[in-house]
A = this chain, B = another copy of it.
C-alpha cells in the first residue's frame, strides 16, 4: 500500500497570540462581527455568505431544529436520565438517530434531483420517468410525502417561497418543482414536497454536496437536543417513558423459545 501523502488542514491555525479560522483572525475579524451561521458557512462551505444566503441558511437550520418527541429527542432524554454526568453522551446518542430514514432522506432527494438534471432527455421527461417508475414500484419518492403534514408540509412551502424571495432558488429548486408536477400527475392527486425535499434542493443550489447535507441537520438538531436536556432537567420524563414502554410491550418469557 502506498504511504498516504501528508495532509494539510485549512480550517484553523493558532499560535500563542491568535487563532485563525480559514485564515481569518478569530478575535479581530470574527468575534462580535459575524453570526454563528456566517462562521458555520465559512467553515463548512469555505466562503462567507451574503445576507440573502445567510438568511436562507438560518431558515434551514431553524426548520431542522425540532419536531417534538422524535426518536432522537426520546433517546437524548433516556440517556441523560441514565448518565447525567455526561450530557455530551445524551446529545451524541440523539444525533445517532439523525440517519438515513428521516432527516437523511435529504441525500436521496438530492441525488434524485441530480439524476433528473443530468438526464439527456431533459428535465420534464426525466421527471415523468422517475415519478412513474417509483409509482409503478410503489416506492416513496425521496423528498415527497409526510405522514403528518397533509396536503402540504407548511415548512417546505415557506422555505421554497423564501428561496425565491432571497434569490436562492436555482436549478435544483426548479428541478424539484418540475418533479413535483410529475409526481402529482403520476399519483393522480397532490403529494406534498416535504421539508427535507425542499432543503435538499436549496442546499444543492448553495453548492452543498449531497453527502454533506446531513451535517446541517446535525448542527441544528444538536441545539434542539440541548433544549430537551434542559427541559428534562426541570420536568423529567425519562422514568415515565421507560415505564410506559416496558408496560406496553409484553414479553414472552413464559414460553421457551
Q: Which residues of A are interface residues toward B (Cβ below 8 A)?
A: 1, 3-24, 26-27, 30-32, 34-37, 39-40, 43-44, 46, 55, 57-59, 61-63, 65-72, 74-75, 78-79, 81-93, 95-102, 104, 147-150, 154-155, 157-159, 162, 165, 209, 211-212, 214-216, 218-220, 222-224, 226-231, 233, 235-246, 248-257
Which of the residues B4, B66, B99, B215 comes within 8 Å of A21, measured between beta carbons? B66
B220 and A36 form a contact (CB under 8 A): yes
Measured between alpha carbons, how far is A162 from B226 in the docked complex, in Å? 25
B4 and A236 form a contact (CB under 8 A): yes
Q: Which 5 A-B pairs have the closest CB atoms?
A: A83-B99, A13-B253, A13-B251, A86-B86, A215-B226
Q: Which residue of B lies closest to A30 (CB)?
A: B62
- Determine how close the nearest CB of chain B comes to the CB of A245; give it in whole angstroms: 5
Measured between alpha carbons, how far is A179 from B22 in the docked complex, in Å? 34
B253 and A20 form a contact (CB under 8 A): yes
A23-B253, A37-B35, A62-B31 are contacts. A67–B99 as well, Cβ < 8 Å?
no
A23 and B81 form a contact (CB under 8 A): no
- Determine how close the nearest CB of chain B comes to the CB of A227; give it in whole angstroms: 4
B9 and A252 form a contact (CB under 8 A): yes
Which of the residues B23, B68, B75, B92 comes within 8 Å of A95, measured between beta carbons? B92
Measured between alpha carbons, how far is A78 from B99 in the docked complex, in Å? 11
